[in-house]
Structure 1
């Protein structure tokens, strides 16, 4: 089992490196033309030329995205007079160009406006512009998001810890319980990203008893390469699937059983451990840059007893705790 876990963790690290390298391994730049005319009348499609070749006919409330080798680029439009823009571009960068009426003189020729990246992305999302020519890499969900999740689950292994007066056993597990987390996600390219999570988990005695308690708490840092599958044409709903590595910090089991016959109070510390997880989340993204997600995570980790304040465990379950479990969590995210 330990060898399998090491192989899984090594695979996760390798996938993370490959994802990052893949994201940056391109010799092209990206050009995005879009229209967002705030006019009552629907204007005809605007033709956009690169040098003397037409590259798209752009209707209102649409965008067109393509990749091209970087350098000095020249675009133009005749409607009815010539309007043009010259760009000096660099590889791995995205350039947003807004095409529309001249704000000073709306009845004159169109103008090209080079837009700030953040402002352009917000316009594309909030106004739900349609992709004029969908490509494998085009999606206008902001590349960064932060959020939180809350939920819980159950451990895959448990043991009886307390015999109650009703002859019912109360169990404790190294997995499951309360699950809280903060997360940051970076989308390198369409459908691929990397998530970083900071979590807190706490397992409880189940069923709970009135005159005592046991809980096992731990903190975790997780990294997850993600593959995102669009579920609708606007890509505002998608399935996020990932396999990642975990680092569990400061695991502690706390006993408060002094009121029970032969019980005791103590805190047992366990060694920091590595683990892995597999997750699948459904995410829906709203025009306001907020999103909601809910999903399920399977995780696996083994804990090793380190020290106790007064006592120490005698059972193998408590010495080498199996901390695998399945949790269901949901939360909100903000995209920027």
Structure 2
């Protein structure tokens, strides 16, 4: 195949998770179910936090933002995958592919930074409880979310612009269910040294940085909890961190598993299957982790549905 300019490529071919016709309907049903659960579960978290004044605190403000990001993160890839299965067409336009890269990087990076911000919030709440509302005031909370968003936007724009500079061969086949950045760079016909360098540098800075912040925050939290004399006080302090720890572990373990599986097996199909974990499974499980272990969220949801039922009954009468 002769290399050509990227403007001559009008579309790419997404090979998906399986080429077997008999598996297309089960895959469609499974991913549609997981996508609806993800959207519905995270919307409930947002509604609960927004409608209940008891949850207008920094911790739940960040949780609502995390739920919003999770909805957007899955929405960048799964709907297109479902449409391709339904229409029995595996093509995606060049513009659509670049858009997937841009938005998936944006929301993945924002998700990563929000987890670090939430760890900092728990650190302040446990280690400096008397100054918590002063340190984590609304202006600081909004600024932390805004800075996280700006850094994520700049990274996604940089990566997307670097992909636009690449040339691709004709009939490019992507062995994935979405336009994954690393796969796209591997399929380019032009030199990708600069792209690979930027990917590794951004991975160290934008993934290693938040992870370092999370580890530092929890090391100080554990040290502070260890100094609490009563067992009940230790349990109460640590219980506020359990849900966040579970989400952080799930996010980083799945991401790490994807890259380790791709590095060890060198199989694009194995990497695509592993990507389902952090692209679909993790955003779907986050609402369950926070709601099932959180009494405030469950009570807020009950009050929300109770008000909705009463309002609906009055409107009907």
Report the TM-score when normalising by structure 2.
0.22
Report the TM-score when normalising by structure 1.
0.21
Q: Which has the higher helix share?
A: 2
Q: Which has the higher contact order (CA 8 A, sep 6+)?
A: 2
Larger Cα-atom Rg: 1
